[in-house]
Amino acid sequence: MELIAQRLFEWWQSGGDSTSLFKPGFLFRGVSKAVAGEDWLYLSRHGVPWTDVTPLAIVGDRSWGATVFEGLDPVTGLKHRLSWLIRATDDRIEELIETAQIVE
């Protein structure tokens, strides 16, 4: 799972061109919402890329992986920390749970 967590982070940083990392119908859960995975993929691909992105942790075990990173949103000028908890089978993501906070 650590490898899948790493691949997700690299996918996000590169602009998310391919969707082969995700199972069809995967679920995204954010702080206050659950949306279809396809909607999250669309927003990830069409958002303004962050700058100064720093990975803080990429870990995994048999069934879950996690990625934590910080970056600067160039639109708002705010630094954010994102955490992704990832559940996958057959090397494809089934569920992605995101938490976010603004970092001073």
Domains of the chain: 2-103 (3.10.450.50)
What mean pLDDT is predicted for residues 38-42?
A: 82
Residue 32 has pLDDT above 70, yes or no: no
- CA–CA gap between residue 50 and residue 53 (Å, rounded): 7
Instruction: Give me the pLDDT at residue 22, please.
Output: 93
Residues 6+ apart with CB under 8 A from 33: none
Count Cα atoms within 13 angstroms, Cβ side, for 56.
Answer: 10
Q: 7-39 burial string, b = 16+ CB within 10 Å, else e?
A: bbbebbeeebeebebbbeebbbeeeeeeeebee
Residue 18 has pLDDT above 80, yes or no: no
Residue 104 has pLDDT above 70, yes or no: yes
Tens digits of per-residue pLDDT, 45-103? 777 788 999 999 999 998 899 999 999 999 999 999 999 999 998 889 999 999 999 99
